[in-house]
Chains A and B, each alone.
Chain A
Amino acid sequence: MRQHHRLFSVIVCSLIIWNAAVPCGWAASDTEQELRALRQSVEALKQTLQTQQALIQRQQARLETLERQAAAKPPEPSPATPPPAPSPRPVPSSGLGQIGAVLPEIGAVGDIVANSSETSADTEGHDRISARELELVVGSYVDPYSRFDSTVAFSDFEAVSLEEAYLTRWGLPWDVKARFGRFFPRVGKETSTHRDSLPTVDEPFVLKNFFGGDGLHRTGADLTRPFQGPAGWVLEPSVGVLEGGAGDGSVTFGSNRRRPVVYSHLKTYKELSDLSGFELGLTHLVGAGPNDHGFQVNVLGVDATYIYHVTPINKLLLQSEVYVQDRGGASSTNADTGKVTHFDQHPWGLYLLGDYRFAPRWSAGLRLDQVRPVDTAATRSVDQGISAFLTFYQSEFARWRLQYEHETNEGRKQDNAVLLQGTFAIGTHKHSIQ
Chain B
Amino acid sequence: MTTRLNRWWTGAAVAAVVAVVGWSAPAWADRPLKVVATLSTFADLVKQVGGPDVEVSSVASPRFNPHFIEPRPSDVLKVKNADLLVHGGLDLEAWRGPLLDAAGNPRLFSGGEGELDLSRGIPLLEVPTQALNRLMGDIHVYGNPHYWTSPENARVMAQAIADKLSALDPTHAAAYQQRLAAFLKRLDQKIAEWQRAASALRGQEVIAYHNEWPYLAQFVGLKVEQFLEPKPGIPPSPKQLGFLEQYITAHGIKAIIQPTYQPRDSSEVLAKRTGAKLVILCQNVRELPDASDYFAWMDYNIRQLTQALGATHG
Contacts and interface: CB of A to CB of B under 8 A. Distances in A.
A205 B206 CA distance: 53
Most chain B beta-carbon neighbours within 10 Å: one of A61, A228, A426? A61
A95 B174 contact: no
Nearest to B186: A75
A98 to B, nearest CB: 13
A361 B237 CA distance: 12
A232 B80 CA distance: 16
Interface stretch (B29-37, B153-161, B213-221): B153-161
18 contacts: A68-B160, A71-B163, A72-B155, A79-B174, A79-B175, A91-B110, A95-B132, A144-B106, A144-B112, A170-B104, A312-B65, A312-B261, A395-B137, A396-B233, A426-B134, A433-B73, A433-B76, A433-B99
Interface string B106-144: 100111100011011111100110001010011001100
A75 B260 contact: no
Contacts of A94: 141
B233 A95 contact: no
A269 B72 contact: yes
A431 B98 CA distance: 7
A71 B176 CA distance: 14
Contact of B71 (A58, A81, A227, A433): A433
Contact of B123 (A61, A173, A312, A433): A61
B73 A269 contact: yes
Contacts of B134: 397, 426
B63 A274 contact: yes
A312 B98 contact: no
Nearest to B120: A89
Contacts of A434: 70
B106 to A, nearest CB: 5
Contacts of A168: 101, 104
Interface in A413-434: 426, 430-434
Nearest to A147: B101
Interface of A: 58, 61-62, 64-65, 67-69, 71-73, 75-87, 89-95, 141, 144-145, 147, 168, 170-171, 173, 175, 177, 226-228, 234, 236, 267, 269, 271, 274-275, 277, 279, 309, 312-313, 359-361, 395-397, 426, 430-434
Most chain B beta-carbon neighbours within 10 Å: one of A89, A267, A396, A431? A396
Given A65-B156, A271-B72, A396-B233, A83 B177 contact: yes
Contact of A64 (B74, B121, B137): B121
A156 B204 CA distance: 57
Interface in B66-117: 68, 70-74, 76-77, 80, 89-90, 94-95, 97-99, 101-102, 104-106, 109-112, 116-117
B64 A309 contact: yes
B263 interface: yes
B182 interface: yes
B81 to A, nearest CB: 8
B178 interface: yes
A91 B110 CA distance: 8
Contact of A65 (B117, B123, B142, B234): B123
A226 B72 CA distance: 12
A175 B106 CA distance: 10
Given A75-B184, A274-B61, A279-B73, A83 B176 contact: yes
B303 interface: no
Contacts of B61: 274-275
Contact of B73 (A81, A173, A234, A397): A234
B193 interface: no
A395 B97 contact: no
A69 B156 contact: yes
B269 interface: no
A78 B173 CA distance: 11
A91 B123 contact: no
A84 B163 contact: yes
A56 B281 CA distance: 36
B138 A396 contact: yes
B226 to A, nearest CB: 20
A341 B117 CA distance: 65
Contacts of B110: 90-91, 93
B121 A433 contact: no
Nearest to B174: A79
A91 B117 contact: yes
A234 B77 contact: yes
A83 B106 contact: no
B89 A62 contact: no
B174 to A, nearest CB: 4
B224 interface: no
B148 to A, nearest CB: 14
Contact of B182 (A61, A77, A93, A313): A77
A430 B117 CA distance: 20
Nearest to B182: A77
A79 B178 contact: yes
Contacts of A80: 174
B20 to A, nearest CB: 10
Contacts of A432: 98, 101-102
Ranked nearest first, the 6 interchain pairs of A and B with the lowest CB-CB distance are A79-B174, A83-B166, A95-B141, A170-B104, A77-B181, A312-B261
A430 B74 contact: no
A426 B167 CA distance: 40
Nearest to A175: B80
Interface string B253-271: 0000000111100000000
B181 A75 contact: yes
B76 A226 contact: yes
Nearest to B110: A91
B73 A62 contact: no
B72 A430 contact: no
B185 interface: yes
A87 B94 contact: no
Given A144-B112, A312-B262, A361-B235, 19 more contacts: A58-B127, A65-B121, A68-B155, A71-B159, A75-B185, A76-B181, A83-B166, A83-B167, A91-B117, A92-B142, A95-B141, A175-B80, A234-B73, A234-B76, A313-B261, A360-B263, A395-B234, A433-B76, A433-B101
B164 interface: yes
Interface string B186-208: 00100000000000000000000
B159 A433 contact: no
A72 B101 CA distance: 33
B73 A360 contact: no
Given A86-B164, A95-B132, A72 B159 contact: yes
A171 B188 CA distance: 43
